A and B are shown apart, each in its own frame.
Chain A
């Protein structure tokens, strides 16, 4: 039997929803519910590229990412679940002088915020990753404390820890209606029954826009497919994530030996909920991998899949309460870097709901910024 009323209903059992639920419960909140239409991490959290980095081009993203990394470093212990943290670094490569100049600015910013990124020459890049083909590479940046975790385990870890603190998690429970009156929330209706509540958190990732529609509020986000492939495991060849914004790729040898990678293709990728895989993706990705690390041409791809980027007008998350509906909080629109920020965003949303203020300012990430024309421009995203 499903609970009849709740203090806070979180929609979405992905990394955002589970992190928010855990952080709310950790701060002492009671009667928290997670509604998940499938199972935990079945959406984009479990489909993401697993990378976690601190190298960004805006101060706010650097701080959010740095604080997330601090949490990731002790998260296995805190949640009593090995999330397979692997701090092997991110090597971000530059192909143009313009990119080098941007990276120099990024590194100055990052270092001023205690993120240990530095510029590297092509030769230094090759020392870090000896199998690298340097063709076209002008340099790059390296941050040794960036890395990856197992995104499935991380989401399960938050979900299980939240449940140990009393959070109720309902899988296979889909929201069909949200009842409101005069700008307030009355209840959530699901395929399993109705829950009375005055606070909802929309953490539905690729489906967060439709959840807003159900609640009768407009959220300026859309979802777009993003594909990934993985190879068979091979002997250790290199460790850091290899990434380029201009050449558009990211791939890495994971600790178990498989090579995982993807690239952004906003012009061609289908919008909406389609998460089928395409042959064109795997061919293009293979070309990118083989060009950069030629020895990998003999390695077999074993699987490809897709997830959804939930994209906002400035490719930055929308965090906070909706201006048109009291008690409707949003943690969405992360535009492809939601997983890596979730330890911090979950904590901040919990603070916002319970205390009305946050320990790191996120007021610039409110939904009102689009009407005000105060968009945030982040130069360093794939």
Chain B
């Protein structure tokens, strides 16, 4: 993969930035997320999480199942503050 390839489209994070974090010795998806912001954008990692898992596994010569996944946090999809603040409970 080229360094300039975009991995996280929401936060504009490239493979080069991910590679640098891995080279610093960070090993988990959580750490990569916290250092690069990959997966913290509007889609919350729905696009990049699988790519990141695959690339971390490849970098450490591990199976993809051996890489811990990040916590899936609410909401499942973005919700307007106005909707959340509304009086209706549905």
Contacts and interface: CB of A to CB of B under 8 A. Distances in A.
A282 B84 CA distance: 7
A235 to B, nearest CB: 15
Interface of B: 24, 26, 28, 30-31, 34-35, 40-42, 44, 71, 73-75, 78-82, 84-85
Q: Is the interface of A mostly helix, strand, loop or mixed?
A: helix
B50 to A, nearest CB: 19
A34 to B, nearest CB: 14
Interface stretch (A189-197, A208-216, A302-310): A302-310
Interface string A267-305: 000000000010100110111011100001111111111
Interface string A28-52: 0000000000011110001000000
B28 A277 contact: no
A156 interface: yes
Interface string A118-134: 00000000000000000
Contacts of A299: 80-81
Contacts of B82: 286, 290, 297-298
Contacts of A46: 34
Interface centre among B30, B31, B78, B84 (most CB of A within 10 A): B84
Contacts of A296: 81
A301 B81 contact: yes
B9 to A, nearest CB: 14
Interface residues of A, number: 31
Main secondary structure of the interface of B (DSSP, over half): loop
A303 B75 CA distance: 6
A232 interface: yes
A231 interface: yes
Given A231-B81, A282-B75, A282-B79, 18 more contacts: A42-B30, A46-B34, A279-B74, A282-B74, A285-B84, A287-B84, A289-B85, A290-B81, A290-B85, A296-B81, A297-B80, A297-B81, A298-B82, A299-B80, A301-B78, A302-B78, A303-B40, A304-B75
Given A156-B35, A302-B42, A287 B85 contact: yes
Contacts of B73: 277, 303-305
A76 to B, nearest CB: 15
Nearest to B26: A39
B44 A303 contact: yes
A262 B5 CA distance: 35
B34 A283 contact: no
A279 B89 CA distance: 11
Contacts of B30: 39, 42
B34 A289 contact: no
